């Protein structure tokens, strides 16, 4: 059973089916679901929806169980690395399968026996057509298929050939085992589908014990039946496979009869949700591995700073539907903001440093100012932040010639420094060669500190800062959407990778952060005040911290400035 706290009561068409079945005593009132990934890649946000659904339904029903099963029937693509990563991701998301972890490869002998049983019943045969001829004989969506000339082989000949296939007598592609169903069926999946193929490839768990491997559409329903799954929940692309699922279970005569139910898969804008395409990105080094924070993999989202609580809330909010739809990435970001707003401590960081000197502040003096760790959580307490004569502020908080509605620092204007004093800009230092502003000269009003006589004096803007003498160097990585266009909208004859966003990652190597972050652990999430939510990256070292931007804060000024920019 899942160990995640029981969620609030919710309803959707799948839960209604489960409730109706349970009330009618179907499956003796049992509820057994499963999450059955193929260990041929890393899990992504789409899998999170399935994980939350399957484990959630088990958790919501007393005595319910959700299995974790590796559907590892394809030795050419599977790897123990993926098996471990899948387990890590499911646990990170907040679920536990207890002792209910299974592998389809554990069932190879039983699956073989089921196949032999179909041959003996005259419901399966060994076909020796080439792959090209098999496609031709299969027919089209508008034309029925044709029977293979090998379809009439005797039971004895089929049994002999199938046993010799297992014994390794034939090279790859020589023969396949096919179900004998209906070559004229309007459902192409029922036109004598392949049940077994010859593959002289070692399996990561069974080694060279097998050289024939079951097809997914054969192994999957039987694995469900052998495990006593009651509700086999899968995505809509398997809807046309359901008649084959039921045919296999019925004609193999299993004791249990699972029910397949399909729901709409999760599609998110401006990212890639295909394992094949994700693998392509990784292998071509277009991203920095499976945990690249630009990817929708759970490893990537975790490294970027997304929380399992936010992902679960997102999956609950989008619900379960019968029709495919595309969800805006902004919705996922909304749930991340909502969650991190409650839990992330606030700190100050300057992404694009601009030196600022307070001329009337005593040289060598350092004050420790009290800063609130999280205004949403009083129990988080406060911290001490050093303040000195020389500071860094962000370049974006200064304009020498400010546009309308820009209320931050500019010559002759005053602003409040967060947790500190009101300052006034009295001078600007520029690089004589480039004209670039390199330093601001300011004065401060000592009476405007908290507790001072002028502490309540109003100014139009408050900006963040760090003390130059105490700041820690950091690299900050800013992430944007992976794609410039939704992959589903890219014409089939175009290379989809040409639509990757060239600005999906911006590295800022000279950032400054407050000293309270000196010992921050990788994976720790914080809010950089006025900037966004960030996560300490494993690339951090004692000499330089590295942070990944999880998500921005809502930026009213950016909208104003964009609206004012001439087009």
Structure tokens at 57: 């339904």
pLDDT at 225: 98
Residue 368 per-residue DSSP state: E
pTM: predicted TM-score of the whole model, two decimal places: 0.92
Q: Which of 275, 304, 449, 549 is catalytic?
A: 275
Q: What is the DSSP string of 430-472?
A: E-TTT--EEEEEEEEEGGGSTTSTTTT---S-EE--EETTT-E
Which residue from 526, 407, 388 is spatially nearest to 463, judged by alpha carbons? 407
Q: Are 257 and 315 in contact (CB under 8 A)?
A: no
Structure tokens at 282: 């990784």
pLDDT at 8: 45
Mark whether 328 is an active-site residue: no
pLDDT at 565: 63
Q: What ranges make up the beta strands (E) of 482-530?
A: 505-513, 525-528
Q: Which of 166, 257, 265, 355 is catalytic?
A: 265
Q: How many residues does the chain have?
A: 567
Q: Are 159 and 126 in contact (CB under 8 A)?
A: no
The pLDDT tens digits for 134-166 are: 999 999 999 999 999 999 999 999 999 999 999
Q: pLDDT at residue 186 above 80?
A: yes
Q: Which residue has the tokens 């003390």?
A: 467
pLDDT at 312: 97
The pLDDT tens digits for 349-376 are: 999 999 999 999 999 999 999 999 999 9
pLDDT at 60: 96
pLDDT at 567: 52
Quote helix, strand, coil % in the chain, to nearest 5. Answer: 35, 25, 45
Q: Are 221 and 258 in contact (CB under 8 A)?
A: yes
Mark whether 38 is an active-site residue: yes
Secondary structure of residue 257 in the 3-state scheme:
coil
For residue 443, what are the CA distances in angstroms to 326, 400, 414, 416?
Answer: 53, 17, 9, 12
Which residue from 46, 57, 47, 55 is spatially nearest to 14, judged by alpha carbons? 57
pLDDT at 7: 45
Rounded-to-integer distance, Cα 184 and Cα 357, Å: 83
Secondary structure of residue 216 in the 3-state scheme:
helix
Q: Are 434 and 440 in contact (CB under 8 A)?
A: no
Q: pLDDT at residue 562 above 90?
A: no
Secondary structure of residue 239 in the 3-state scheme:
helix
pLDDT at 492: 87
pLDDT at 486: 87
Q: pLDDT at residue 384 above 70?
A: yes
- Average pLDDT in the chain: 94
Q: pLDDT at residue 555 above 80?
A: no
**Continuous segment of H or E residues that includes residue 50:** helix 45-60
Rounded-to-integer distance, Cα 515 and Cα 471, Å: 6
The pLDDT tens digits for 206-228 are: 999 999 999 999 999 999 999 99
At 5, the pLDDT band (50, 70, 90 cuts) reads: very low
pLDDT at 2: 41
pLDDT at 11: 85
The whole-number average pLDDT for the span 178-198 is 98
Q: Are 43 and 68 in contact (CB under 8 A)?
A: no
Mark whether 138 is an active-site residue: no
Rounded-to-integer distance, Cα 226 and Cα 182, Å: 26
The pLDDT tens digits for 99-137 are: 999 999 999 999 999 999 999 999 999 999 999 999 999
Structure tokens at 496: 């989809």
pLDDT at 9: 59
Percent of the chain, pLDDT > 70? 96
The whole-number average pLDDT for the span 272-284 is 94
> Which alpha helices (DSSP H) does 61-150 contain, by range?
80-93, 108-120, 131-138
The pLDDT tens digits for 430-479 are: 999 999 999 999 999 999 998 778 888 999 999 999 999 999 999 999 99
Q: Are 191 and 174 in contact (CB under 8 A)?
A: no
Q: Which residue has the tokens 């992330």?
A: 344
At 566, the pLDDT band (50, 70, 90 cuts) reads: low
Which residue from 344, 419, 336, 339 is spatially nearest to 380, judged by alpha carbons? 344
Rounded-to-integer distance, Cα 390 and Cα 393, Å: 10
Which residue from 281, 280, 278, 311 is spatially nearest to 297, judged by alpha carbons? 278
Structure tokens at 178: 């096919």
Long-range CB contacts for residues 446-450, cutoff 8 Å, separation at least 24 = 446/421, 448/416, 448/421, 448/422, 449/369, 449/420, 449/421, 450/370, 450/419
Percent of the chain, pLDDT > 90? 92
Q: Which of 30, 38, 312, 408 is catalytic?
A: 38
Secondary structure of residue 126 in the 3-state scheme:
strand
| Cβ-based burial of 21 (10 A; exposed 0-12, middle 13-18, buried ≥19) | middle
Which residue from 514, 425, 511, 409 is spatially nearest to 462, judged by alpha carbons? 409
At 564, the pLDDT band (50, 70, 90 cuts) reads: low
Q: Are 447 and 453 in contact (CB under 8 A)?
A: yes
Structure tokens at 376: 């949403």
Q: Are 1 and 65 in contact (CB under 8 A)?
A: yes
Q: pLDDT at residue 325 above 50?
A: yes
Count of C-beta atoms within a 10 Å radius of residue 186: 10
């Amino acid at each position: 059973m899942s160990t995640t706290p029981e969620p609030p009561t919710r309803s959707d068409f799948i839960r209604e089916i489960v409730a109706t079945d349970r009330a009618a005593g179907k499956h003796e009132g049992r509820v057994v679901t499963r999450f059955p990934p193929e260990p041929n890649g890393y899990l992504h946000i789409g899998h999170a929806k399935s994980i939350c659904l399957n484990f959630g339904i088990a958790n919501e029903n007393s005595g319910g169980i959700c299995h974790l099963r590796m559907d590892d029937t394809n030795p050419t693509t599977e790897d123990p690395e993926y098996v471990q990563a899948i387990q890590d991701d499911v646990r990170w998301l907040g679920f536990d399968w207890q002792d209910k972890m299974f592998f389809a490869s554990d069932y190879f002998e039983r699956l073989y026996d089921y196949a032999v049983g179909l041959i003996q019943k005259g419901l399966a045969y060994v076909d020796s057509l080439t792959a090209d001829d098999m496609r031709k004989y299969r027919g089209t969506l508008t034309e029925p298929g044709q029977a293979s000339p090998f379809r009439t082989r005797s039971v004895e000949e089929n049994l002999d050939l199938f046993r010799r296939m297992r014994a390794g007598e034939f090279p790859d592609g020589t023969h396949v085992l096919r179900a004998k169903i209906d070559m004229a069926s309007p459902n192409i999946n029922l036109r004598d589908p392949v049940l077994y193929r010859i593959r002289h490839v070692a399996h990561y768990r069974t080694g060279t014990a097998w050289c024939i491997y079951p097809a997914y559409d054969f192994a999957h329903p039987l694995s469900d039946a052998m495990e006593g799954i009651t509700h086999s929940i899968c995505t809509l692309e398997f809807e046309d496979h359901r008649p084959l699922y039921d045919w296999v279970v019925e004609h193999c005569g299993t004791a249990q009869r699972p029910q397949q139910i399909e729901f709409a898969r999760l599609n998110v804008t401006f990212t890639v949700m295909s394992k094949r395409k994700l693998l392509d990105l990784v292998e071509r080094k277009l991203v920095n591995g499976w945990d690249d924070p630009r990817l929708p993999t759970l490893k990537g989202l975790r490294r970027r700073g997304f929380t399992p609580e936010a992902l679960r809330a997102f999956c609950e909010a989008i619900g379960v539907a019968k029709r495919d739809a595309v969800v805006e990435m902004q919705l996922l970001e909304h749930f991340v903001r909502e969650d991190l707003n409650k839990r992330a401590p606030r700190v100050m960081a300057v992404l694009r440093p601009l030196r600022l000197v307070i001329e009337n502040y005593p040289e060598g003096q350092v004050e420790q100012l009290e800063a609130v760790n999280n205004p949403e959580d009083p129990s988080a307490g406060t911290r001490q932040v050093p303040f000195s004569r020389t500071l860094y502020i962000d370049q974006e908080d200064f304009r020498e010639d400010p546009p309308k509605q820009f209320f931050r620092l500019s010559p002759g204007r005053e602003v409040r420094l967060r947790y500190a004093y009101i300052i006034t800009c009295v001078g600007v230092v520029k690089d004589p060669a480039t004209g670039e502003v390199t330093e601001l000269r300011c004065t401060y009003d000592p009476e405007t500190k908290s507790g001072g006589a002028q502490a309540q004096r109003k100014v139009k803007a408050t900006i963040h800062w760090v003390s130059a003498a105490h700041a820690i160097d950091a690299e900050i990585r800013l992430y944007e959407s992976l794609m410039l266009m939704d992959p589903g909208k890219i014409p089939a004859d175009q290379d989809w990778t040409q639509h990757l966003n060239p600005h999906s990652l911006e590295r800022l190597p000279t950032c400054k952060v407050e000293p309270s972050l000196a010992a921050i652990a990788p994976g720790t999430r914080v809010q950089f005040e006025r900037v966004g939510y960030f996560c300490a990256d494993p690339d951090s070292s004692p000499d330089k911290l590295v942070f990944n931007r999880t998500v921005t804060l809502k930026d009213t000024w950016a909208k104003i400035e964009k609206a004012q920019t001439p087009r």
